[in-house]
Amino acid sequence: MPNIAFLTLIYLMLAVPGFLYRSFYNSGKFTRDLLPRSWMDEIGKATLYAVPFHALWILLFHLAQNFGLTHYTMTLETVVRLMAAEYGDQEYSFHGIIARIYDDIGYVTSYSLAVVVTAVFAGRQARWIVWENELDVRFAWLRYRSNWLYEIMGRGALKDVPFSDTEAWIDILSEQDAPTPGRAILYQGLAAGYTTEENGALRDIILTDVKRTDGGKNDDGSVRWVRVRGKFFVMSYSKIRNMNITYEQHSKKILQQIESLSSGIRDAPKPP
């Protein structure tokens, strides 16, 4: 009768490289929340991601054995029997397999460390390549599992404009901090981030450079805006009635401001 707890421990240990790969791949500012609160929630996916790393190092250890660089006694049959709980007599009995693993504990440790280090390195490199080159925008199968990254933050919203040069300005009609119940206030700010619930639903929008209406008007009849103090302003999504998002290219806007400033500067009159 196989020990279920022991087999579960083995499969959890085999899934660790997949979990580490996914953790480092989604370790960025806007993608960290894509990971489940507990990695046990996606143990199946972590196991699948771990398969290539195990296959790579099994092949490398096998080649090293063939070239005489290593001298371990474990075989693939030993590992498969242990994972499937199919034990035989003598050397392939449960105690025989454990004894063989103990004899090769140095190789087992080296293999485990190699798989873990490879998974961490691959996760970091894959993250850097995909994020910096915005491959998730060009290829749907690399797209991050959060529509808010693309809709709220504007990643890939402007054609041929990198994410680092994209600004998402949001006009929000919200009941948050309204002076009277049922009344809404118009806010405007630059999207700086967001938070989500465990099911991926939007919880908060983080804004910076925020201003709001105070209900009054200027002398010319235009809406009067007042600046909201603080570097960041957290807007609760549950309080929002409506919002409008405008994407702008930051560098282009700066150039336009410089051009408008220079066009308004007149040369000083020449002295007589």
Enumerate the CATH 2.30.30.100 domain ranges in the chain, comma separated: 147-255
pLDDT score recorded for residue 267: 44
pLDDT surpasses 70 at 39:
no
Per residue in 49-90, pLDDT tens? 999 999 999 999 989 988 888 888 777 777 777 776 666 666
The number of residues in the chain equals 272
- List, as own/partner pairs, every contact residues 176-183 make where C-beta atoms lie below 8 angstroms and the sequence separation is at least 24, other chains included: 176/235, 176/236, 176/239, 176/240
Q: What is the CATH number of domain 147-255?
A: 2.30.30.100
Q: What is the per-residue pLDDT across 229-248, written as a single tens digit (0 to 9) for each? A: 889 999 999 999 999 999 99
To the nearest whole percent, how much of the chain has pLDDT over 90? 41
Instruction: Check residue 26 and give its pLDDT.
Output: 86
pLDDT number for residue 186: 93
Q: What pLDDT, in 10s, does the model give residues 129-149?
A: 999 999 999 998 898 888 899
CA distances from 79 to 113, 220, 246 (A): 17, 81, 57
CA dist., res. 220 & res. 265, Å (int)? 26
pLDDT band per the 50, 70, 90 thresholds, residue 268: very low
pTM value is 0.77
161-193 pLDDT, tens digit per residue, is 999 999 999 999 999 988 888 889 999 999 999
CA distance 165 to 134: 13
Alpha carbons within 13 A on the beta-carbon side of 162: 7
